[in-house]
Each structure stands twice: as C-alpha cells, then as structure tokens.
C-alpha cells in the first residue's frame, strides 16, 4: 500500500463470520510504500484454515475492505 502522508494505519484480517483473525499493522506510519505478508497465522500464532478472508485497511481518513482467498 502507498501512503500519501504520515498517518495511523490499521490492517486487519477477518474471517467470514466477521471475527478478527490477525492484526497485521496498528501504528503510525510515514509517507511511502509498504508491503505486508500474511502467512496464514492468527494473532496467537496458530495456522488458520484454507478459505475466504477479508482484509480491512484503515487510516484516519480512508477505509477499504477486500476479499482474499488463503490457499495452502
């Protein structure tokens, strides 16, 4: 993702039931380009099941949800 200015960023993975599975980012980040990889683990380090998940990206002035498929 690409940030146009320094802002608070929250990037989270949710399952189809709307339950949060993993927080990937939750901090202030400077302007620039970033890459994040999710290795199919939950917040406790457990492997999650193959299937559909939602990725929620939030900043102070923007929010977007994308569907993704985890294949093992």
Q: Tens of pLDDT along 1-50?
A: 999 999 999 999 999 999 999 999 999 999 999 999 999 999 999 999 99
9 burial (CB, 10 Å; 0-12 / 13-18 / 19+) is buried
The DSSP line for the chain is: -EESS-EEEEEEEE-TTS-EEEEEEEEEE-SEE------SB-TTSPBPPSEEEEEEEE-SS-EEEEEEEE--
- Given a cut of 90, whether residue 72 has pLDDT beyond it is no
27: Cβ–Cβ under 8 A, 6 or more apart, which residues?
Answer: 8, 9
Q: What predicted TM-score, i.e. pTM, was given to this entire model?
A: 0.92
Mean pLDDT, residues 45-59: 97
């Amino acid at each position: 993702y690409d940030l146009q200015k320094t802002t608070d960023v929250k990037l989270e993975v949710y399952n189809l039931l709307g339950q949060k599975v993993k927080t990937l980012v939750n901090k202030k980040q400077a302007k620039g380009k970033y890459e994040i990889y999710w290795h199919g683990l939950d917040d406790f380090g457990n492997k999650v099941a193959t299937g559909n998940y939602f990725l929620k990206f939030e900043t102070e002035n923007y929010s977007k949800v994308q569907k993704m498929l985890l294949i093992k």
